[in-house]
A = this chain, B = another copy of it.
Amino acid sequence: MNANAKFLSATAEVDSAAVAPLPNSRKIYVEGSRPDIQVPMREISQSDTSASFGHEKNPPIYVYDTSGVYTDPAAKIDIRSGLPTPRAPWILERDDTEELDGPTSEYGQARLEDPALAELRFNLTRKPRRAKAGANVSQMHYARKGIVTPEMEYVAIRENMRRKEYLAELKASGPLGERMAEMMGRQHPGFNYGANIQAEITPEFVRDEIARGRAIIPANINHPEIEPMIIGRNFLVKINGNIGNSAVTSSISEEVEKMTWAIRWGGDTVMDLSTGKHIHETREWIIRNSPVPIGTVPIYQALEKVNGKAEDLTWEIFRDTLIEQAEQGVDYFTIHAGVLLRYVPMTAKRMTGIVSRGGSIMAKWCLAHHKENFLYTHFEDICQIMKQYDVSFSLGDGLRPGSVYDANDEAQLGELKTLGELTQIAWKHDVQVMIEGPGHVPMQLIKENMDLQLEQCNEAPFYTLGPLTTDIAPGYDHITSGIGAAQIGWYGCAMLCYVTPKEHLGLPNKDDVKEGIITYKIAAHAADLAKGHPGAQIRDNALSKARFEFRWEDQFNLGLDPDKARSFHDETLPKDSAKVAHFCSMCGPHFCSMKITQDVREYAASGMQEKAIEFVKGGSKLYSKA
Judge whether A367 and B572 touch: CB under 8 Å.
Answer: no
Per-residue CB contact flags for chain A residues 444-487 toward chain B (1 = under 8 Å, else 0) read: 11000000000000000000000001111111101110110011
CA distance A529 to B443 in the complex (A): 8
- Given the known inter-chain contacts A357-B593, A367-B600, A611-B370, please indicate yes or no for A348 contacting B623, CB distance below 8 A: no
Judge whether A604 and B348 touch: CB under 8 Å.
Answer: yes
Per-residue CB contact flags for chain A residues 171-206 toward chain B (1 = under 8 Å, else 0) read: 000000000000100101111000000000000000
Measured CB to CB, the closest approach of chain B to A521, in angstroms, equals 8
Number of copies of this chain in the oligomer?
2
Q: Which A276-325 residues sit within 8 Å CB-CB of chain B? A: 276, 300, 303, 308, 310
**Is A104 among interface residues, defined by CB-CB distance under 8 A?**
no
Chain B neighbourhood of A470, CB < 8 A:
522, 525-526, 529, 540
Judge whether B363 and A529 touch: CB under 8 Å.
Answer: no
Chain B neighbourhood of A407, CB < 8 A:
188
**Is A212 among interface residues, defined by CB-CB distance under 8 A?**
no
CA distance A357 to B347 in the complex (A): 54
Chain B neighbourhood of A111, CB < 8 A:
none
**Is A81 among interface residues, defined by CB-CB distance under 8 A?**
no
How many chain A residues touch B (CB < 8 A): the figure is 148
Judge whether B247 and A591 touch: CB under 8 Å.
Answer: yes
Judge whether B366 and A588 touch: CB under 8 Å.
Answer: no
Q: Which A545-585 residues sit within 8 Å CB-CB of chain B? A: 545, 547-548, 555-556, 558-561, 564-565, 568-569, 571-573, 584-585
Measured CB to CB, the closest approach of chain B to A181, in angstroms, equals 14
CA distance A622 to B377 in the complex (A): 6
Chain B neighbourhood of A422, CB < 8 A:
623
- Given the known inter-chain contacts A591-B303, A625-B421, please indicate yes or no for A472 contacting B559, CB distance below 8 A: yes
Dominant secondary structure of chain A at its interface with chain B:
helix
Binds B, one of A16-24, A215-223, A612-620: A612-620
- Given the known inter-chain contacts A351-B545, A405-B544, A544-B351, please indicate yes or no for A345 contacting B613, CB distance below 8 A: yes
**Is A248 among interface residues, defined by CB-CB distance under 8 A?**
yes
Judge whether A353 and B601 touch: CB under 8 Å.
Answer: yes
Chain B neighbourhood of A473, CB < 8 A:
518, 521-522, 559-561
Extra inter-chain contacts (15) besides given A357-B587, A377-B622, CB under 8 Å: A183-B351, A188-B408, A275-B587, A276-B588, A340-B620, A354-B596, A368-B603, A405-B540, A405-B544, A469-B526, A473-B518, A473-B560, A476-B519, A483-B522, A506-B568
